[in-house]
Amino acid sequence: MSEDREAQDDELLALASIYDEEEFRQAQSAQGGEIQLCLELPPDFKIVVKGEKQSEYDVSFLPPLVLNFELPADYPSIASPIFTLSSKWMTRAQMSTLCRRLDELWEENQGCVIIFTWIQFIKEEALDFLGIQSPLEVIRGGNKPGGERRKTDPAATALTQTGSQSEKAEEKIIKEKKEKSEAQLTPCSHLDQRAVLLREPHVDILPQLLDFDETQRQRVFDSKVFCCGICFAEKMGANCLCFKECQHVYCQACMTEYFQIQIRDGNVQCLNCPEPKCTSVATPLQVKQLVDDELFARYDRLLLQSTLDLMADVVYCPRTSCGTAVMVEPDTTMGICTACQYAFCTLCKLGYHGLSHCKINADELRNLRDEYLSATTQGQKFMEQRFGKRVIQKAVEESFSRDWLDENCKGCPRCGTNIQKVDGCNKMTCTSCKQYFCWLCLGHLSRVNPYGHFNNPGLPCYNQLFHGVDIDDDEDDFWSDEED
Protein backbone atom coordinates (compact mmCIF):
# COMPACT_ATOMS: atom_id res chain seq x y z
CA MET A 1 0.00 0.00 0.00
CA SER A 2 2.85 2.38 0.76
CA GLU A 3 4.35 1.69 -2.66
CA ASP A 4 1.02 2.48 -4.35
CA ARG A 5 0.70 5.71 -2.37
CA GLU A 6 4.22 6.74 -3.25
CA ALA A 7 3.59 6.05 -6.95
CA GLN A 8 0.38 8.09 -6.82
CA ASP A 9 2.13 11.06 -5.15
CA ASP A 10 4.93 10.95 -7.71
CA GLU A 11 2.45 10.84 -10.59
CA LEU A 12 0.40 13.77 -9.29
CA LEU A 13 3.57 15.77 -8.63
CA ALA A 14 4.77 15.09 -12.18
CA LEU A 15 1.45 16.22 -13.65
CA ALA A 16 1.53 19.42 -11.60
CA SER A 17 5.04 20.19 -12.84
CA ILE A 18 4.24 19.47 -16.51
CA TYR A 19 0.91 21.32 -16.80
CA ASP A 20 -0.05 24.78 -15.51
CA GLU A 21 -2.93 25.49 -13.15
CA GLU A 22 -5.41 26.13 -15.96
CA GLU A 23 -4.73 22.70 -17.47
CA PHE A 24 -4.38 20.56 -14.34
CA ARG A 25 -6.07 21.01 -10.96
CA GLN A 26 -5.34 18.52 -8.21
CA ALA A 27 -8.20 17.45 -5.94
CA GLN A 28 -7.98 18.71 -2.38
CA SER A 29 -9.83 15.96 -0.53
CA ALA A 30 -8.74 12.86 -2.51
CA GLN A 31 -6.00 11.44 -4.65
CA GLY A 32 -7.05 12.69 -8.07
CA GLY A 33 -7.76 15.76 -10.11
CA GLU A 34 -9.08 17.30 -13.31
CA ILE A 35 -7.16 17.93 -16.49
CA GLN A 36 -8.17 19.92 -19.61
CA LEU A 37 -7.09 18.16 -22.81
CA CYS A 38 -6.94 20.21 -26.03
CA LEU A 39 -6.68 17.91 -29.03
CA GLU A 40 -3.94 18.65 -31.54
CA LEU A 41 -5.73 19.62 -34.77
CA PRO A 42 -4.09 19.22 -38.19
CA PRO A 43 -3.28 22.38 -40.20
CA ASP A 44 -6.17 24.08 -42.04
CA PHE A 45 -8.78 22.29 -39.93
CA LYS A 46 -12.29 23.50 -40.70
CA ILE A 47 -15.75 23.24 -39.22
CA VAL A 48 -18.79 23.30 -41.51
CA VAL A 49 -22.19 24.67 -40.56
CA LYS A 50 -25.08 23.02 -42.35
CA GLY A 51 -28.25 25.02 -42.87
CA GLU A 52 -29.90 27.19 -45.50
CA LYS A 53 -26.41 28.35 -46.47
CA GLN A 54 -23.35 26.25 -45.79
CA SER A 55 -20.54 28.15 -44.05
CA GLU A 56 -16.95 27.11 -43.35
CA TYR A 57 -14.71 28.35 -40.53
CA ASP A 58 -11.00 27.78 -40.05
CA VAL A 59 -10.17 26.78 -36.48
CA SER A 60 -6.90 25.92 -34.75
CA PHE A 61 -8.39 24.89 -31.41
CA LEU A 62 -11.50 23.07 -30.20
CA PRO A 63 -12.79 23.19 -26.60
CA PRO A 64 -10.90 20.70 -24.41
CA LEU A 65 -12.00 17.29 -23.30
CA VAL A 66 -12.12 17.18 -19.49
CA LEU A 67 -10.69 14.11 -17.74
CA ASN A 68 -11.70 13.81 -14.08
CA PHE A 69 -9.98 10.97 -12.24
CA GLU A 70 -9.62 9.52 -8.77
CA LEU A 71 -6.89 7.08 -7.77
CA PRO A 72 -8.03 4.11 -5.62
CA ALA A 73 -5.84 3.04 -2.71
CA ASP A 74 -4.60 -0.07 -4.61
CA TYR A 75 -3.68 1.88 -7.78
CA PRO A 76 -1.52 1.21 -9.76
CA SER A 77 -0.75 -2.28 -8.50
CA ILE A 78 -4.29 -3.66 -8.89
CA ALA A 79 -7.10 -1.18 -9.56
CA SER A 80 -7.58 1.20 -12.47
CA PRO A 81 -8.25 4.92 -11.92
CA ILE A 82 -11.93 5.87 -11.63
CA PHE A 83 -12.66 8.52 -14.27
CA THR A 84 -15.19 10.44 -16.34
CA LEU A 85 -14.63 12.05 -19.75
CA SER A 86 -16.53 15.22 -20.67
CA SER A 87 -16.84 17.29 -23.86
CA LYS A 88 -18.87 20.14 -25.35
CA TRP A 89 -18.52 19.13 -28.98
CA MET A 90 -18.07 15.34 -29.18
CA THR A 91 -21.01 12.99 -29.28
CA ARG A 92 -21.60 10.68 -26.35
CA ALA A 93 -20.93 7.71 -28.64
CA GLN A 94 -17.49 9.06 -29.54
CA MET A 95 -16.60 9.68 -25.89
CA SER A 96 -17.83 6.17 -24.99
CA THR A 97 -15.43 4.78 -27.56
CA LEU A 98 -12.60 6.76 -25.99
CA CYS A 99 -13.51 5.48 -22.52
CA ARG A 100 -13.25 1.89 -23.71
CA ARG A 101 -9.90 2.66 -25.32
CA LEU A 102 -8.62 4.05 -22.00
CA ASP A 103 -9.69 0.79 -20.36
CA GLU A 104 -7.71 -1.14 -22.98
CA LEU A 105 -4.63 1.01 -22.36
CA TRP A 106 -4.90 0.25 -18.62
CA GLU A 107 -5.13 -3.49 -19.28
CA GLU A 108 -2.05 -3.28 -21.49
CA ASN A 109 -0.09 -1.37 -18.78
CA GLN A 110 -1.58 -2.75 -15.57
CA GLY A 111 0.73 -2.25 -12.61
CA CYS A 112 2.15 1.02 -14.00
CA VAL A 113 0.93 4.58 -13.62
CA ILE A 114 -1.38 5.31 -16.54
CA ILE A 115 -2.69 8.91 -16.37
CA PHE A 116 0.06 10.45 -18.50
CA THR A 117 -0.38 7.68 -21.11
CA TRP A 118 -4.10 8.45 -21.24
CA ILE A 119 -3.39 12.16 -21.62
CA GLN A 120 -0.95 11.62 -24.50
CA PHE A 121 -3.39 9.30 -26.28
CA ILE A 122 -6.32 11.71 -26.02
CA LYS A 123 -4.32 14.75 -27.12
CA GLU A 124 -2.35 13.17 -29.97
CA GLU A 125 -4.32 10.15 -31.22
CA ALA A 126 -7.99 10.64 -30.37
CA LEU A 127 -8.93 12.30 -33.69
CA ASP A 128 -7.37 9.54 -35.79
CA PHE A 129 -8.73 6.85 -33.49
CA LEU A 130 -12.28 8.18 -33.91
CA GLY A 131 -11.83 8.95 -37.61
CA ILE A 132 -12.62 12.65 -37.14
CA GLN A 133 -11.40 14.63 -40.14
CA SER A 134 -11.73 18.12 -41.53
CA PRO A 135 -14.29 19.49 -42.15
CA LEU A 136 -16.11 18.79 -38.91
CA GLU A 137 -19.86 19.22 -39.34
CA VAL A 138 -21.70 21.40 -36.86
CA ILE A 139 -25.50 21.32 -36.73
CA ARG A 140 -26.49 24.64 -35.17
CA GLY A 141 -29.05 24.85 -32.40
CA GLY A 142 -29.63 21.11 -32.11
CA ASN A 143 -33.24 20.35 -32.99
CA LYS A 144 -35.66 22.47 -34.95
CA PRO A 145 -38.41 24.02 -32.81
CA GLY A 146 -41.61 22.10 -33.11
CA GLY A 147 -40.09 19.68 -35.58
CA GLU A 148 -38.65 16.20 -35.55
CA ARG A 149 -35.38 15.58 -33.79
CA ARG A 150 -32.33 14.86 -35.93
CA LYS A 151 -31.13 11.28 -35.93
CA THR A 152 -27.67 10.68 -34.55
CA ASP A 153 -25.38 8.05 -36.02
CA PRO A 154 -23.18 6.65 -33.20
CA ALA A 155 -20.39 5.96 -35.67
CA ALA A 156 -20.57 9.36 -37.31
CA THR A 157 -17.54 11.60 -37.12
CA ALA A 158 -19.56 14.78 -37.46
CA LEU A 159 -20.45 16.95 -34.50
CA THR A 160 -24.19 16.38 -33.94
CA GLN A 161 -26.75 16.90 -31.20
CA THR A 162 -27.86 13.68 -29.48
CA GLY A 163 -30.91 15.10 -27.75
CA SER A 164 -33.26 13.24 -25.44
CA GLN A 165 -33.23 10.06 -27.57
CA SER A 166 -29.65 9.42 -26.53
CA GLU A 167 -30.59 10.21 -22.94
CA LYS A 168 -33.38 7.64 -23.06
CA ALA A 169 -31.05 5.11 -24.60
CA GLU A 170 -28.54 5.76 -21.83
CA GLU A 171 -31.18 5.33 -19.13
CA LYS A 172 -32.20 2.05 -20.69
CA ILE A 173 -28.59 0.85 -20.77
CA ILE A 174 -28.02 1.86 -17.14
CA LYS A 175 -31.16 0.00 -16.15
CA GLU A 176 -29.97 -3.12 -17.98
CA LYS A 177 -26.60 -2.75 -16.30
CA LYS A 178 -28.15 -2.71 -12.87
CA GLU A 179 -30.32 -5.68 -13.65
CA LYS A 180 -27.40 -7.73 -14.95
CA SER A 181 -24.95 -6.36 -12.32
CA GLU A 182 -22.34 -5.70 -14.98
CA ALA A 183 -19.19 -3.80 -14.04
CA GLN A 184 -19.30 -1.64 -17.18
CA LEU A 185 -20.84 -1.48 -20.62
CA THR A 186 -18.66 -3.23 -23.15
CA PRO A 187 -20.70 -3.58 -26.39
CA CYS A 188 -19.68 -0.94 -28.97
CA SER A 189 -23.28 0.06 -29.59
CA HIS A 190 -23.83 1.08 -25.94
CA LEU A 191 -23.14 4.47 -24.38
CA ASP A 192 -20.75 4.58 -21.44
CA GLN A 193 -22.02 6.34 -18.34
CA ARG A 194 -18.55 7.79 -17.81
CA ALA A 195 -19.01 9.85 -21.02
CA VAL A 196 -20.58 13.20 -20.09
CA LEU A 197 -22.02 15.74 -22.56
CA LEU A 198 -21.37 19.30 -21.37
CA ARG A 199 -24.07 21.14 -23.31
CA GLU A 200 -27.81 21.56 -23.36
CA PRO A 201 -29.72 19.97 -26.25
CA HIS A 202 -30.94 23.25 -27.78
CA VAL A 203 -27.84 25.41 -27.22
CA ASP A 204 -26.08 26.68 -30.35
CA ILE A 205 -22.57 25.27 -30.05
CA LEU A 206 -21.01 27.26 -32.93
CA PRO A 207 -20.42 30.57 -31.03
CA GLN A 208 -18.76 28.63 -28.23
CA LEU A 209 -16.43 26.89 -30.67
CA LEU A 210 -15.45 30.13 -32.43
CA ASP A 211 -15.01 32.08 -29.17
CA PHE A 212 -12.77 29.39 -27.72
CA ASP A 213 -10.68 29.26 -30.90
CA GLU A 214 -10.28 33.06 -30.88
CA THR A 215 -9.25 33.06 -27.19
CA GLN A 216 -6.67 30.31 -27.69
CA ARG A 217 -5.22 31.98 -30.79
CA GLN A 218 -4.78 35.17 -28.78
CA ARG A 219 -3.06 33.29 -25.95
CA VAL A 220 -0.58 31.75 -28.38
CA PHE A 221 0.01 35.15 -30.00
CA ASP A 222 0.58 36.84 -26.61
CA SER A 223 3.28 34.32 -25.67
CA LYS A 224 5.38 34.83 -28.84
CA VAL A 225 8.02 37.49 -29.56
CA PHE A 226 7.59 39.77 -32.60
CA CYS A 227 9.69 42.47 -34.26
CA CYS A 228 7.71 45.68 -34.78
CA GLY A 229 7.72 46.76 -38.43
CA ILE A 230 7.95 50.45 -37.42
CA CYS A 231 10.39 50.82 -34.49
CA PHE A 232 12.07 47.40 -35.12
CA ALA A 233 12.00 46.59 -31.40
CA GLU A 234 11.30 43.01 -30.30
CA LYS A 235 8.28 42.77 -28.03
CA MET A 236 5.95 40.12 -26.68
CA GLY A 237 2.73 39.52 -28.58
CA ALA A 238 0.77 40.78 -25.54
CA ASN A 239 2.25 44.22 -26.30
CA CYS A 240 1.63 44.05 -30.06
CA LEU A 241 -1.26 44.42 -32.51
CA CYS A 242 -1.85 42.01 -35.36
CA PHE A 243 -4.01 43.06 -38.32
CA LYS A 244 -6.42 40.20 -38.84
CA GLU A 245 -6.52 40.14 -42.66
CA CYS A 246 -2.80 40.41 -43.44
CA GLN A 247 -1.33 39.19 -40.11
CA HIS A 248 1.24 42.03 -40.07
CA VAL A 249 2.39 42.79 -36.52
CA TYR A 250 3.35 46.14 -34.94
CA CYS A 251 3.90 47.13 -31.34
CA GLN A 252 1.03 48.80 -29.49
CA ALA A 253 3.05 51.93 -28.72
CA CYS A 254 3.64 52.71 -32.41
CA MET A 255 0.07 51.87 -33.41
CA THR A 256 -1.40 53.95 -30.56
CA GLU A 257 0.40 57.05 -31.80
CA TYR A 258 -0.57 56.26 -35.39
CA PHE A 259 -4.26 55.82 -34.51
CA GLN A 260 -4.33 59.00 -32.40
CA ILE A 261 -2.97 61.13 -35.27
CA GLN A 262 -5.39 59.68 -37.83
CA ILE A 263 -8.45 60.04 -35.60
CA ARG A 264 -7.61 63.64 -34.65
CA ASP A 265 -7.26 64.44 -38.37
CA GLY A 266 -10.63 62.78 -39.05
CA ASN A 267 -9.16 59.97 -41.19
CA VAL A 268 -11.12 57.19 -39.53
CA GLN A 269 -11.30 55.21 -42.78
CA CYS A 270 -7.48 55.21 -43.00
CA LEU A 271 -6.62 53.14 -39.93
CA ASN A 272 -5.06 50.57 -42.21
CA CYS A 273 -1.92 48.48 -41.91
CA PRO A 274 1.23 50.65 -42.27
CA GLU A 275 2.76 48.07 -44.62
CA PRO A 276 3.04 49.68 -48.11
CA LYS A 277 0.18 48.74 -50.45
CA CYS A 278 -1.54 46.73 -47.69
CA THR A 279 -5.29 47.30 -47.43
CA SER A 280 -5.99 45.59 -44.09
CA VAL A 281 -7.93 47.81 -41.67
CA ALA A 282 -7.93 47.74 -37.87
CA THR A 283 -11.17 46.53 -36.27
CA PRO A 284 -13.11 48.86 -33.94
CA LEU A 285 -12.21 46.57 -31.02
CA GLN A 286 -8.49 46.94 -31.77
CA VAL A 287 -8.87 50.73 -31.96
CA LYS A 288 -10.76 50.81 -28.66
CA GLN A 289 -7.98 48.87 -26.93
CA LEU A 290 -5.32 51.41 -27.96
CA VAL A 291 -6.95 54.87 -27.63
CA ASP A 292 -8.70 56.64 -24.78
CA ASP A 293 -12.48 56.90 -24.46
CA GLU A 294 -12.68 60.44 -25.84
CA LEU A 295 -10.75 59.60 -29.03
CA PHE A 296 -12.68 56.37 -29.51
CA ALA A 297 -15.98 58.26 -29.24
CA ARG A 298 -14.76 60.62 -31.98
CA TYR A 299 -13.64 57.63 -34.08
CA ASP A 300 -17.00 55.92 -33.61
CA ARG A 301 -18.95 59.07 -34.53
CA LEU A 302 -16.85 59.83 -37.65
CA LEU A 303 -16.94 56.21 -38.76
CA LEU A 304 -20.74 56.21 -38.61
CA GLN A 305 -20.87 59.51 -40.48
CA SER A 306 -18.51 58.30 -43.22
CA THR A 307 -20.59 55.15 -43.59
CA LEU A 308 -23.75 57.21 -43.99
CA ASP A 309 -21.96 59.44 -46.52
CA LEU A 310 -21.48 56.39 -48.73
CA MET A 311 -25.21 55.67 -48.76
CA ALA A 312 -26.87 57.19 -51.81
CA ASP A 313 -30.22 57.69 -50.07
CA VAL A 314 -28.88 59.50 -46.99
CA VAL A 315 -28.24 63.27 -46.66
CA TYR A 316 -27.85 65.49 -43.61
CA CYS A 317 -30.21 68.16 -42.33
CA PRO A 318 -28.57 71.48 -43.34
CA ARG A 319 -29.49 73.21 -40.09
CA THR A 320 -26.28 73.69 -38.13
CA SER A 321 -28.11 73.04 -34.86
CA CYS A 322 -29.44 69.69 -36.13
CA GLY A 323 -27.40 67.78 -38.74
CA THR A 324 -29.54 64.64 -38.46
CA ALA A 325 -29.14 61.96 -41.15
CA VAL A 326 -32.20 61.97 -43.45
CA MET A 327 -33.42 59.24 -45.81
CA VAL A 328 -34.59 60.58 -49.18
CA GLU A 329 -36.63 59.01 -51.95
CA PRO A 330 -34.95 58.38 -55.33
CA ASP A 331 -35.34 61.01 -58.09
CA THR A 332 -36.51 63.71 -55.72
CA THR A 333 -34.79 66.76 -54.29
CA MET A 334 -36.91 67.07 -51.14
CA GLY A 335 -35.69 65.92 -47.77
CA ILE A 336 -37.66 66.15 -44.52
CA CYS A 337 -35.67 65.98 -41.29
CA THR A 338 -37.23 63.55 -38.82
CA ALA A 339 -35.76 65.48 -35.88
CA CYS A 340 -36.66 69.13 -36.61
CA GLN A 341 -39.20 68.60 -39.44
CA TYR A 342 -37.26 70.97 -41.74
CA ALA A 343 -38.12 70.46 -45.43
CA PHE A 344 -35.12 71.27 -47.60
CA CYS A 345 -33.71 70.86 -51.10
CA THR A 346 -31.08 68.11 -51.17
CA LEU A 347 -29.16 69.92 -53.92
CA CYS A 348 -28.81 73.50 -52.64
CA LYS A 349 -29.56 72.71 -48.94
CA LEU A 350 -31.98 75.64 -48.73
CA GLY A 351 -35.69 75.45 -47.92
CA TYR A 352 -37.57 73.23 -50.35
CA HIS A 353 -38.58 75.28 -53.39
CA GLY A 354 -40.47 72.73 -55.49
CA LEU A 355 -39.84 73.03 -59.23
CA SER A 356 -38.18 76.44 -58.98
CA HIS A 357 -34.49 76.69 -59.78
CA CYS A 358 -32.02 76.22 -56.93
CA LYS A 359 -30.47 79.41 -55.60
CA ILE A 360 -27.01 77.95 -55.81
CA ASN A 361 -23.99 80.07 -56.60
CA ALA A 362 -21.89 79.44 -59.69
CA ASP A 363 -18.95 77.98 -57.77
CA GLU A 364 -21.06 75.35 -56.00
CA LEU A 365 -22.84 74.45 -59.23
CA ARG A 366 -19.51 74.20 -61.05
CA ASN A 367 -18.05 72.03 -58.29
CA LEU A 368 -21.04 69.67 -58.52
CA ARG A 369 -20.64 69.49 -62.29
CA ASP A 370 -16.87 68.90 -62.09
CA GLU A 371 -17.32 66.22 -59.43
CA TYR A 372 -19.86 64.42 -61.59
CA LEU A 373 -17.87 64.65 -64.83
CA SER A 374 -14.62 63.51 -63.19
CA ALA A 375 -16.20 60.62 -61.27
CA THR A 376 -16.01 56.98 -62.32
CA THR A 377 -19.06 55.26 -63.76
CA GLN A 378 -19.86 53.89 -60.32
CA GLY A 379 -19.37 57.33 -58.77
CA GLN A 380 -21.69 58.93 -61.31
CA LYS A 381 -24.36 56.33 -60.58
CA PHE A 382 -23.97 57.07 -56.87
CA MET A 383 -24.47 60.82 -57.45
CA GLU A 384 -27.45 60.14 -59.71
CA GLN A 385 -29.01 58.03 -56.96
CA ARG A 386 -28.28 60.66 -54.34
CA PHE A 387 -29.39 63.79 -56.20
CA GLY A 388 -31.53 62.23 -58.96
CA LYS A 389 -30.38 61.76 -62.55
CA ARG A 390 -32.63 64.56 -63.78
CA VAL A 391 -31.24 66.94 -61.17
CA ILE A 392 -27.64 66.09 -62.07
CA GLN A 393 -28.27 66.60 -65.79
CA LYS A 394 -29.95 69.92 -65.07
CA ALA A 395 -27.04 71.00 -62.87
CA VAL A 396 -24.49 70.10 -65.54
CA GLU A 397 -26.41 71.91 -68.28
CA GLU A 398 -27.00 74.98 -66.13
CA SER A 399 -23.37 75.09 -65.05
CA PHE A 400 -22.15 74.92 -68.64
CA SER A 401 -24.64 77.67 -69.55
CA ARG A 402 -23.39 79.87 -66.73
CA ASP A 403 -19.77 79.28 -67.76
CA TRP A 404 -20.60 80.25 -71.35
CA LEU A 405 -22.43 83.37 -70.20
CA ASP A 406 -19.53 84.33 -67.93
CA GLU A 407 -17.08 83.97 -70.79
CA ASN A 408 -19.16 85.62 -73.56
CA CYS A 409 -21.61 87.98 -71.87
CA LYS A 410 -21.71 90.85 -69.44
CA GLY A 411 -24.57 91.87 -67.20
CA CYS A 412 -26.45 95.10 -67.76
CA PRO A 413 -25.40 97.49 -64.98
CA ARG A 414 -29.04 98.49 -64.51
CA CYS A 415 -31.12 95.29 -64.68
CA GLY A 416 -28.46 92.54 -64.80
CA THR A 417 -29.62 91.03 -68.10
CA ASN A 418 -26.87 89.07 -69.84
CA ILE A 419 -25.71 90.92 -72.97
CA GLN A 420 -23.54 89.38 -75.67
CA LYS A 421 -21.53 91.73 -77.86
CA VAL A 422 -21.32 90.34 -81.41
CA ASP A 423 -19.90 93.38 -83.23
CA GLY A 424 -20.12 97.16 -83.29
CA CYS A 425 -18.68 99.80 -80.99
CA ASN A 426 -18.41 99.72 -77.22
CA LYS A 427 -21.58 101.78 -76.69
CA MET A 428 -24.15 99.13 -75.73
CA THR A 429 -27.94 99.18 -75.40
CA CYS A 430 -29.61 96.70 -73.04
CA THR A 431 -32.21 94.64 -74.89
CA SER A 432 -34.35 94.50 -71.75
CA CYS A 433 -34.39 97.94 -70.11
CA LYS A 434 -32.88 99.95 -73.05
CA GLN A 435 -30.19 101.39 -70.79
CA TYR A 436 -27.06 102.73 -72.57
CA PHE A 437 -23.82 101.52 -71.02
CA CYS A 438 -20.12 101.16 -71.80
CA TRP A 439 -19.00 97.64 -72.72
CA LEU A 440 -15.53 98.26 -71.30
CA CYS A 441 -16.31 99.66 -67.83
CA LEU A 442 -20.06 98.91 -67.62
CA GLY A 443 -20.69 102.54 -66.75
CA HIS A 444 -24.06 104.17 -67.39
CA LEU A 445 -24.14 106.39 -70.52
CA SER A 446 -26.20 109.56 -70.98
CA ARG A 447 -29.21 109.14 -73.20
CA VAL A 448 -28.66 112.67 -74.60
CA ASN A 449 -24.99 112.21 -75.51
CA PRO A 450 -23.90 108.60 -74.96
CA TYR A 451 -20.67 109.10 -76.95
CA GLY A 452 -19.49 111.84 -74.64
CA HIS A 453 -18.20 109.09 -72.33
CA PHE A 454 -15.60 108.11 -74.92
CA ASN A 455 -14.63 111.74 -75.68
CA ASN A 456 -13.88 112.74 -72.07
CA PRO A 457 -10.06 112.78 -71.52
CA GLY A 458 -10.56 112.32 -67.80
CA LEU A 459 -12.15 108.87 -68.16
CA PRO A 460 -10.25 105.59 -68.75
CA CYS A 461 -12.42 104.83 -71.81
CA TYR A 462 -11.23 107.99 -73.64
CA ASN A 463 -10.88 107.25 -77.39
CA GLN A 464 -11.85 103.59 -76.70
CA LEU A 465 -15.14 103.60 -78.62
CA PHE A 466 -13.82 101.03 -81.07
CA HIS A 467 -11.32 99.32 -78.79
CA GLY A 468 -11.17 95.59 -79.54
CA VAL A 469 -13.20 95.94 -82.73
CA ASP A 470 -11.87 94.47 -86.00
CA ILE A 471 -12.62 97.18 -88.61
CA ASP A 472 -13.22 96.12 -92.24
CA ASP A 473 -12.71 99.12 -94.51
CA ASP A 474 -14.73 97.50 -97.28
CA GLU A 475 -17.89 97.44 -95.19
CA ASP A 476 -19.29 100.94 -95.04
CA ASP A 477 -22.32 99.71 -93.16
CA PHE A 478 -20.17 99.11 -90.12
CA TRP A 479 -19.84 102.88 -89.53
CA SER A 480 -23.56 103.54 -89.64
CA ASP A 481 -25.67 103.63 -86.55
CA GLU A 482 -29.25 104.11 -87.56
CA GLU A 483 -30.58 103.82 -84.05
CA ASP A 484 -28.35 106.56 -82.71
Question: How many CA atoms are closer than 13 Å to the CA of 308, on its beta-carbon side?
Answer: 16
Task: Give dist(CA 266, CA 262) in Å, integer.
Answer: 6
> Residues 99, 240, 251, 425: which is the catalytic one?
425
Q: Which residues contact 10 (CB under 8 A, 6 or more apart)?
A: 113
- Cis status of the peptide bond prior to 318, with omega within 30 of 0: no
Ranges of beta strands (E only) in 208-354 are 225-227, 234-236, 240-242, 249-251, 314-316, 325-327, 334-336, 343-345
Task: Give dist(CA 317, CA 338) in Å, integer.
Answer: 9
425 among known catalytic residues: yes
- Give the chain's end-to-end CA distance (angstroms, integer): 138
Asked if 56 and 44 touch (Cβ cutoff 8 Å), the reply is no
Distance of CA 54 to the CA centre of its chain: 21
Specify the 3-state DSSP secondary structure of 173. Answer: helix
- The DSSP-derived string for 265-286 is TT-GGG-B-SSTT---B--HHH
Q: Tell me which residues are annotated as active site.
A: 425
